[in-house]
Amino acid sequence: MCGFVCLWRAGDEALAKRMIGKLAHRGPDAGGVTRLPEADVVMAHCRLSIIGPEDGAQPILQGDDLLVANGEIYNHADLRAILGEALFRTASDSETILHLFRRAESRWVARLDGMFAFVLATPDRIVAARDPLGIKPLYVARMGDGYAFASELKAFDGIDVEHIDTIPPGCLYDSRDGWRTWFRMPQGAAEPEDTLDEARTAEELRLVLGQAVEKWMVADVEVGAFLSGGLDSSIMAAIAQRQRMRRGMGPLKTFSVGLDGSPDLLAARQVAAHIGSDHREYAFTAQDLADNLSHVIYHLESADVDLVRSAIPNLFAARLARREVKAVLTGEGADELFAGYDYHHAYVDAPRALADELTRALGTMHNINLQRVDRITMAESLEARTPFLDRDLIDFAQSIPATLKLRRTDPNDAEATGPTTEKWILRKACADLLPAALVWRKKAQFDEGSGTVEALQGALATILGSEGPVDRAAEGALYTRLLRERYENPDRILAHAGTWTDARLAV
């Protein structure tokens, strides 16, 4: 996990060093600035060492090719075997990108399985690409006749650029061949075929989940897990714990945060005790929120009220985890795959519309949830991994009919969570992993279950000097002011910030 900058016909080493300095939090273990010989290309990199920690420094210069990459290629061992180990000079998973490119296959980038963003240059060509969901960020800006690429918007702050764009998820830019969409989200299924076996579907989902977690646990350092006490993070932790114990690796380290006595802290303790994880927790206060609000907004690169609220507990979880591990699993993506949000309940009688909405929502995650996860964990030099967004798991989940994700609840069912049950098939698939009370627990948003919303009122009152409740408009105005205070060019940041208002469609 890293941060990088690439200047293609756009600047020199001094500018690259200045820009990468603003991303140093993404990679405290190593860094470097490299020019491609006899070409107007400069790349800078800051590294958080996860795979190949001894010899995986970047930028990677081999012959006439120069590469910077961020993320993890989880099938790198398989690709090495296919490409030939003799080609490789390092143990870094990122080096597979370079050798796949050199094979010049038409869809070489589609063979990369993981979360990634990269820029690769030859003396006369630049190629930039991003993973299917946009888990890892990548921006590009015009600078004169050239381009500047960077992992975060803040790298461009105070820099003279003409225009900034996001490289879309699942897209590739090639200066020789132009833009390509190399990944398209599979369309979600609506209603089951007559032959569908619900029990077997749940069993298969469980197997695919296990494979995803196993793949996303690959690392040369210890991987822990966020544990909010909710269904999604609890499933991830339970599966990872079983896999670690089966390999004799010792208990999984899990991390939970919340206001003292909050539902999330209590539920996480119960889950940790049930699965046998090595659990840590931190109880934050309203003063903690007041002290860190500006820091959260600066790193989040957004002033959206809902995004900021959900980012706050993430910050404390990341700080807690980073004391002991460099990478954690998260439950991000389950709500979009399996209909987990409250607004999805309105679709219970419209399975085709629900399937379409889930497909659409998966395509917007990069600028909302995934922006929060990436920016806030990387602000603390921690890698967050999202096994629910594994490509194979997405393919399978999208083939499951929407009627099995959100279904009306039998009023005589003792496990009922309400008139409708969200994530029904996911709950069925993992019912044996966790206590029944948790498997069928009604979902709470992270900022609500952790007590963030309650504590935030105290923090906002402290900052604003208010004696009464702070309404949403005043809260949003404060977040915007705090963002503007931290950036030389705040309008650039605000122009690219996703919002929850835009992310959810009405039925």
Q: Which domains does the chain possess?
A: 2-181 (3.60.20.10), 198-503 (3.40.50.620)
Residue 49: pLDDT band (50, 70, 90) is: confident
Nearest-angstrom CA–CA distance, 344 and 505: 10
Convert the pLDDT of each residue in 417-452 to its tens digit: 567 899 999 999 999 999 988 898 766 655 567 888
Give mean pLDDT, residues 48-60: 83
Query: Residue 179 is which amino acid?
Result: W
pLDDT value, residue 440: 83
Nearest-angstrom CA–CA distance, 378 and 27: 8
Percent of the chain with pLDDT over 70: 95
Nearby residues of 203 by Cβ (< 8 Å), 6 or more positions away? 429
Catalytic residue (choose from 2, 6, 171, 430): 2
pLDDT value, residue 467: 80
Looking at beta carbons, which pairs linking 481-485 to residues 24 or more positions away fall under 8 Å?
482/293, 482/294, 482/297, 482/298, 482/303, 483/297, 483/298, 483/302, 483/303, 485/294
322 pLDDT more than 80: yes
| Residue 256 tokens, joined | 């939970």
Give mean pLDDT, residues 81-108: 93
pLDDT value, residue 415: 57
| Residue 421 tokens, joined | 């049950």
Is 174 labelled as part of a ligand binding site? Answer: no
162 pLDDT more than 90: no
358 pLDDT more than 80: yes
* Beta bridge partners of residue 259, listed in sequence order: 284
321 pLDDT more than 60: yes
265 pLDDT more than 70: yes
Percent of the chain with pLDDT over 90: 84
pLDDT value, residue 505: 46
59 pLDDT more than 70: yes
Query: Residue 403 is which amino acid?
Result: T
Convert the pLDDT of each residue in 131-152 to its tens digit: 999 999 999 999 999 999 999 9
pLDDT value, residue 490: 97
The side-by-side arrangement of strands in the sheet containing 41-47 is 30-35, 41-47, 2-8, 146-150, 139-143, 163-166
Query: Residue 59 is which amino acid?
Result: P
pLDDT value, residue 413: 58
Mean pLDDT of the chain: 93
Nearest-angstrom CA–CA distance, 264 and 262: 5
Convert the pLDDT of each residue in 164-181 to its tens digit: 999 999 999 999 999 999
| Residue 305 tokens, joined | 């009220």
414 pLDDT more than 60: no
pLDDT value, residue 447: 55
pTM (2 decimals)?
A: 0.94
The side-by-side arrangement of strands in the sheet containing 223-226 is 278-284, 253-259, 223-226, 327-329, 383-385
Give mean pLDDT, residues 83-111: 94
Give the 3-state secondary structure of 272-292: HHHHCCEEEEEEECHHHHHHH
pLDDT value, residue 498: 75
Q: Shortest CA distance to 371 belongs to which of 284, 424, 308, 305?
A: 308
**Is 2 annotated in the active site?**
yes
pLDDT value, residue 56: 75
Convert the pLDDT of each residue in 216-252 to its tens digit: 999 999 999 999 999 999 999 999 999 999 999 999 9
**What string of DSSP letters covers 91-151?**
S-TTHHHHHHHHTT-TTGGGG--EEEEEEEEETTEEEEEE-TT--S--EEEEETTEEEEES
Is 257 labelled as part of a ligand binding site? Answer: yes
Between the two ends of the chain, the Cα-to-Cα distance in Å is: 38
